[in-house]
Structure formats: structure tokens, C-alpha cells
Amino acid sequence: MASPNRVSVDGAQHLFPCFQRAEVSFTHGEGAWLVGTDGKRYLDFATGIAVTGLGHSHPILVEELHRQGGKLWHVSNAVRIPQQEALARLLCEKTFAQRVFFNNSGAEAVETAIKTARRYQYASGRPERYRVITFEGGFHGRTLATIAAGGRHEYLEGFGPVAPGFDVVPFGDLDALQTACGTETAAILVEPIQGESGIRKHDVAVLQRIREFCDQQDILLIFDEVQTGVGRTGHLFACQAAGVDPDILAAAKGLGNGFPVAACLASEEVGSCMAPGTHGSTFGGNPLAMAIAAKVLKIVSDEAFLITVRDKGRRLLDRLLTIVAEYPGAFSAVRGEGLLLGLRCVPPVKLVVAAAQANGLLTVTAGDNVMRLLPPLILSDAEIEEGLARLRRTAEACRQATSGR
């Protein structure tokens, strides 16, 4: 009899080949663990790229999925949706925001943010202001507008004319920012900590200066917190730790713990300019997504929970510093905030991530030869130790591979 874990289909040739997938797949997950179709248990420090922050099969979320799933999934935004109003209210209670629009993915939430910034300028009698300044290394998604916002050549190549209206300046360069800002500038779009390009954090002072600059110029500040948000850094949103409020904020990844849901948050003044008919979404904010995201947010926005995330993040960072010192041939630096951590690798990061996977530890590659460690926020102390042990074995494997060359 075939093992129940066996995956019997093989249809990879029917998929767009745009992902470089690892030769591994999973049957189920429990908390910080994933069980492979090979029967092997993997410690999940990838969390589907900062998504499953509360771990796999969280009992409260599974129960909510069944409860709401048995009642009502979808109705459309042509009617009032109490679950949407409840989640919007919760998000506004916990943040700078007074208005929320719900999307299904990070890129869509960023698109909503960009449209809202442009519309705000238009509604304020400054329709010439449509340009958005972004920082090099930023990642904002894969739609036509968000690849233009990111400005990365590899993501733009072959996709026709670059969507106009984006000015990309060097990372953290405030002089370049001021030079780029003109009479057509509507907003500045920033990831408080760049995730995709290797856990690169803007100094708090830089974020504060950007806020002041936006106020002086009467332009809007948009934070892309798709990766940094929903507790990942040990704060509900990273900007709250910096004490800098944006006018608009995009959230997604961790918000549904794997159920696709995203949100664009805005101040009253900015959000209220999106008059009836200006924007829309078929799926965005449906009752099922809203019910699950509300459960996630209730858990993650609790200050006592966030303190545990900060504690775990600090402990893990300290221990990673020791590993960096012990294995200079494998790792050269560690950085990050909360449980959004990056280990700069000495060998090509792809090899290190593959070695970690072979040692039962799932991680994610990032730019600047950085291996991202994005464990679930519910990680236990024992799981931190287990992760470190697996990381040590990974470093050993890298050392042997290099000395064997």
C-alpha cells in the first residue's frame, strides 16, 4: 500500500516555470513544524515567507475557519459586511489609521496605497502630484506598478514600458530624496525594514526625517509593512517602534496566517478621499478572510504577546551572534528586529539555505547574500535551541564543503 504521505501527482510541467522550487513538499504542519512527504520533520523558520506567524494548524484559527466557513464565505462589497467593519475597527484602534480597504495580497495593498496617495492629491486640488519616491532595494510586489516602484532591473526586464511615476533613490539617502522631490511628487513609499533585499533597516532618525520632510512638502508617507507588520518585529507594526506614523500603510503577509488577506490603512483625511466608485475588489474583505484575520489580529496585537516576540527575538539574535563568531567561514553578520532576522552568508546563500533544508531547517534567501530567519512568533524556547542546533550543523556542512574544494 502506498504511504499516505506519498504525493502521486506530477504536473510540474504544467505550471509556469517562474519559481525555482526546492525538491521538497509537505503534507501537514503543527505549530513551528512541517512534515514532509518524505516523512521528515522540518523546523519552519521560513513561515511561507513571514506569513504563518502563529504557526501551522493553530487551534483557534482552525476553529474559526470551520465556524465561519460553515456559515458564510463571500457576499461582495455591494453590501455591508459586519466582519469587515469589525476588523477595520480593530486595526484602527491599534494604529494611526481611521480608514481601511481590504485586499487579497501585498502587492494589491501597495497598489491601493499608491492609488490612494494620488487620489488624495487630486482631491486636494493638486492633480499634477502623482509621482512616488521609493528606495533602492525596496520590494513592493510583482504587479506592473509595484515592480516599477521597486525599480529592480531583473523584475522589470521584458515586461514592456515601465509604469511611469516612480523615482527610485539610493537606500537611506535623504539628500537624494530631497533632490528627487518635485512639484509632481505625491508620496514617499518606504519599507521600514527592507525584507527581500536582505533585512536592511532604516535608522529611526531617517524615518523621522522622512516624516518631517513629507509634512514640509505636503506629500504623503506610505509605509509598506507587508513583511514587517503583524507582530513580525515584536511590534504590531515596525513604525510603531520608531514612533513614526505614516499617512498610509500596507499590510498583508502575516495578517491571515496563510489565508490570503491584505489591508491598506489610512488616516481619516487620506482614506476618506476614496469616494464611492473610485476603487474596488471582488474578493477583498470577504467574511471568511475577515473572520480569520480578526482572530489573528486579536492574538498578535496583545501587548503581552508582543513582549514575548521581542524577548524571543533578542535571545535568538544573541545566540546567532555567537554562531557568527564560531563559524566565520559560513556567516559574516546577523541583523534584524524581533523575529525578522537575517544571517549574512559567506558561501552563496542558496547553498546555505539548501544545506539548512538538508538539516531539517527551512529558511528563506534574500538579497545581499542574506539568509532570512522568519520563525513563527509562537516559537518555544526549546524550538529556538533546536533551530540553533540545526543551524550549527548547517554551518559545519558549509565548512566541510568549502574545505573539500
Ligand X SMILES: *Cc1c(COP(=O)(O)O)cnc(C)c1O
* Residues that bind ligand X in the complex, under the rule CB under 6 A: 105-107, 110, 139-141, 191, 195-196, 224, 226-227, 252-253
| Rounded CA separation 112/92 (Å) | 17
| Rounded CA separation 195/193 (Å) | 6
Task: Find where cell 521538497 sits.
Answer: 24
Query: CA neighbours within 13 Å on the CB side: how many for 359?
Result: 22
Q: Is 131 annotated as a binding residue?
A: no
Q: Is 24 annotated as a binding residue?
A: no
Query: Which of 95/105 has CB closer to ligand X?
Result: 105
Smallest gap from residue 18 Cβ to ligand X (A): 13
Q: Is 326 annotated as a binding residue?
A: no
Please name the residue ranges forming H helices in 254-332.
268-271, 287-300, 303-326
List phi, psi (to 5°) of 267: -70, 165
Q: Is 381 annotated as a binding residue?
A: no
Q: Is 245 annotated as a binding residue?
A: no
Query: Which of 200/344 has CB closer to ligand X?
Result: 200
Query: Which of 196/383 has CB closer to ligand X?
Result: 196
Q: Is 281 annotated as a binding residue?
A: yes
Smallest gap from residue 196 Cβ to ligand X (A): 6
Smallest gap from residue 226 Cβ to ligand X (A): 4
Query: Which of 49/346 has CB closer to ligand X?
Result: 49
Q: Which residues contact 232 (CB under 8 A, 6 or more apart)?
A: 50, 53, 238, 253, 254, 338, 339, 340, 374, 377
Closest listed residue to residue 385, CA positions, set 46, 43, 53: 43
Smallest gap from residue 63 Cβ to ligand X (A): 25
How far does CA 337 lie from the centroid of its chain?
13
Q: Which residues contact 105 (CB under 8 A, 6 or more apart)?
A: 141, 252, 260, 262
Query: Which of 226/274 has CB closer to ligand X?
Result: 226
Smallest gap from residue 117 Cβ to ligand X (A): 16
Residue with nearest beta carbon to ligand X: 106
Q: Is 224 annotated as a binding residue?
A: yes
Give CA separation, 354 vs 43, 371, 391, 397, in Å: 14, 11, 12, 11
Query: Which of 195/338 has CB closer to ligand X?
Result: 195
Query: Which of 167/196 has CB closer to ligand X?
Result: 196
Q: Is 353 annotated as a binding residue?
A: no
Smallest gap from residue 279 Cβ to ligand X (A): 17
2: exposed, middle or buried (C-beta count within 10 Å: 0-12, 13-18, 19+)? exposed
Q: Is 68 annotated as a binding residue?
A: no
Is residue 132 within 8 A of residue 186, CB to CB? The reply is: yes
End-to-end CA distance of the chain: 43
Q: Is 240 annotated as a binding residue?
A: no
Long-range own/partner contacts, residues 352-357 (CB < 8 A, 24 or more apart): 352/394, 352/398, 354/22, 355/394, 355/397, 355/398, 355/401, 356/390, 356/391, 356/394, 357/22, 357/24, 357/42
Smallest gap from residue 218 Cβ to ligand X (A): 26
Give CA separation, 319 vs 334, 359, 385, 392, in Å: 10, 18, 9, 11
Provide the 3-class DSSP secondary structure of residue 251: strand
Query: Which of 142/209 has CB closer to ligand X?
Result: 142
Residue ranges at the known binding site for N(2)-acetyl-L-ornithine: 142, 281
Residue ranges at the known binding site for pyridoxal 5'-phosphate: 106-107, 139, 224-227, 282
